Amino acid sequence: MAEQAERSSFSGLAHYNIKSLFSELPTPCYVLDEARLRQNGETLLGVQRRTGCKILLAQKAFSNFAMYPLIEGYLAGTEASGLFEARLGREEMPGGEVHVFCGAYKRSEFDEVLKYADHIVLNSLTELARYGKKAKAAGKSVGLRINPEYSTQEGHAVYDPCAPGSRLGVTREQWDKNMTPELLELIDGVHFHTLCEQDSDALEETLFAVEEKFADALKSVKWINFGGGHHITRPGYDIDRLERLVVRTHERYGAQIYLEPGEACALDAGYLVAEVLDITENGGVTNAILDASAACHMPDVLEMPYRPPLYGAGEAGEYEYTYRLGGATCLAGDVIGDYSFKAPLKTGDRLVFGDMAIYTTCKNNTFNGMPLPAIARLHESGDISMIVQFGYEDFKRRLS
């Protein structure tokens, strides 16, 4: 199991001496991998060319704009969750479309959102009534998020937009109760987002539910957005089925199909280099305290939760020396996971975590005054350059 995870997350490093490759970097430090970003981009571009769909980068997962010039040629544009991401997409990937979905827009920001967006997706019929005409008058394509009330999540309710009582999307009951001809006329497209790190079988199930409840709406729109959560670039993902679903939906309704994955764009395209600060023993558990923190630098480890891949390590007990890796914060639960090693760890050792390009730099924080990790770039040539480093002033500015 450990070897399979390592092949997936670290195959981009196969031709390097890892110990020397990252030896000069400050720690903690994220490293973005050009070659893996390009590999993901080529996969996504192939899907678009074979099906005619358009794929957008969901910036909520990956918004390191220094890499946008590398990936923009493989994508149709960006998807934003609000004003700042919309502006970032417009400024840093200017040749692409900018789509925005927000659970609710601030009145004071909506005019500025219209400056940057091409597609405005609204979350409710009240929002459609409030902003639809204004968006249309500004020449924007207006969409409505629908909720098919069909869950495909297993064990991650926090990521399930179709959970009972969800605030995301218009249900069929709400549609039937409150839709009017005037509102219907404003809608150019529909958007649904129900997946999280899933294969195309979950999309197929969702599409059946969407068609069962909203077939009439699908017949009248110019575009249909399948949302995100499609793990297209993951090894073993069923791309053929995805493409059949895209083509079938386009042919059935004559609509342009969009997908907006975030993880698929930058999956396995980043690393987090950390240093061992101390080793402690307590009740039979050997703890290795790092200068990287789950709470601060890889929040999804605690929120999902999940155990990130670690270069050269195995499951607990797989190799002779097992350690519980954690951060230096005061949070008792700041634990990354239990890992085993073929040789004992010592203070000063460097560890390399994989799949650290997504939901890291865009979600990290300075709890406990922890420094933000630097961000570096692993060029396809094998050279490494520093993109940005952070210090005390970055910490202080967030608190002023």
Three-state secondary structure call for residue 246: helix
Q: Which amino acid is present at 340?
A: S
Whether 115 and 163 have beta carbons less than 8 Å apart is answered as: no
pTM of the model as a whole:
0.95
- The full length of the chain comes to 400
Beta bridge partners of 286: 281
Distance CA 45, CA 65 (A): 19
Q: Check residue 155 and give its pLDDT.
A: 66
Helix (H, G, I), strand (E, B) or coil at 278: strand
Taking the C-alpha atoms of residue 59 and residue 353, their distance in angstroms, rounded to an integer, is 22
**Helix segments in 16-63, DSSP class H:** 18-21, 34-51
Burial 41-50 (b: 16+ CB within 10 A, else e): bebbbebbee
Q: From the CB of residue 277, how many other CB atoms can be counted at a distance below 10 Å?
A: 16
Look at residues 184, 172, 255 and name the one whose alpha carbon lies nearest to residue 218: 255
- Sorted by sequence, the CB contacts under 8 Å of residue 4 that are 6+ apart come out as none
Asked if omega into 28 is within 30° of 0 (cis), the reply is: yes
Per-residue pLDDT 10s for the chain (400 aa) are 333 344 478 988 988 999 899 999 999 999 999 999 999 999 999 999 999 999 999 999 999 999 999 999 999 999 999 999 999 999 999 999 999 999 999 999 999 999 999 999 999 999 999 999 999 999 999 999 999 999 998 767 788 999 999 999 999 999 999 999 999 999 999 999 999 999 999 999 999 999 999 999 999 999 999 999 999 999 999 999 999 999 999 999 999 999 999 999 999 999 999 999 999 999 999 999 999 999 999 999 999 889 999 999 999 999 999 999 999 999 999 999 999 999 999 999 999 999 999 999 999 999 999 999 999 999 999 999 999 999 999 999 999 8
Which DSSP symbol is given to 73? G
Determine the pLDDT at residue 8: 72
pLDDT at site 159: 87
| Alpha-carbon span 152 to 160, nearest angstrom | 8
Rg of the chain over all Cα atoms, to the nearest angstrom: 22
What CATH class has 2-32+269-397?
mainly beta
pLDDT score of 244: 98
Write the CATH number of the domain with boundaries 52-266.
3.20.20.10
Report domain extents, the chain: 2-32+269-397, 52-266
Identify which of 200, 297, 274 has the alpha carbon closest to the alpha carbon of residue 239: 200
Contact 114, 102 (CB under 8 A): no
Please report the pLDDT score of residue 35 as a whole number. 97
Spatial separation of the C-alpha atoms in residues 355 and 357, rounded to whole Å: 6
